[in-house]
Amino acid sequence: MAVAALVEVKRKRVATNKGLLDSGGPLPISFFWVAFQYLFLGSADLFTLAGLLEFFFSEAPSSMRSLATSLSWASLAMGYYLSSVIVSIVNGATGSPGHRGWLSGPNLNSYHLDRFYWLICVLSGLNFIHYLFWAARYKYRSIK
């Protein structure tokens, strides 16, 4: 998310320097700036899902492996749902009757995606600390 925030800062800087903040047209910036962040996000999703499936499959009793695998997919779906809830909360918390929220406006250039990405970056860091807390206390199932 830090890479996404930095790319968004770069994108907004280009829009400001070229006088295209209020324009709905394309910006003179290479697609590869955006592709860079998708490379990181896609890789993170891939490795997270692979590790999650392996964990559920190896730690669940053999009679519950299919249920554990389906729980990994359900947790992924829940994460996507919570992402949309976070967007709604941020828009509601940052907006007021005379002021638009971070994620609303007439075009993408009027959004404050950089702030949103930094917020998600902080939340991801807190989530990682939460993960480390529970991972340190987890006892793996003994192999029989």
Average pLDDT over residues 90-101: 88
| 105 — pLDDT class (breaks 50, 70, 90) | confident
Question: Does residue 144 or residue 103 have the better pLDDT?
Answer: 103
Q: Closest Cα to residue 68, out of 80, 53, 82?
A: 53
- pLDDT digit string, tens, across residues 1-36: 899 999 999 988 998 888 888 877 788 888 888 888
Average pLDDT over residues 81-107: 89
Q: Is 116 exposed, middle or buried (0-12, 13-18, 19+ CB in 10 A)?
A: buried
The Cα 109–Cα 8 span in angstroms is: 10
- pLDDT digit string, tens, across residues 120-143: 999 999 999 999 999 999 988 766
Average pLDDT over residues 100-111: 84
- Residue pointed to by tokens 């554990």: 68
Burial 79-99 (b: 16+ CB within 10 A, else e): eeeeeeeeeeebeeebeeeee
What is the per-residue pLDDT for 82? 93
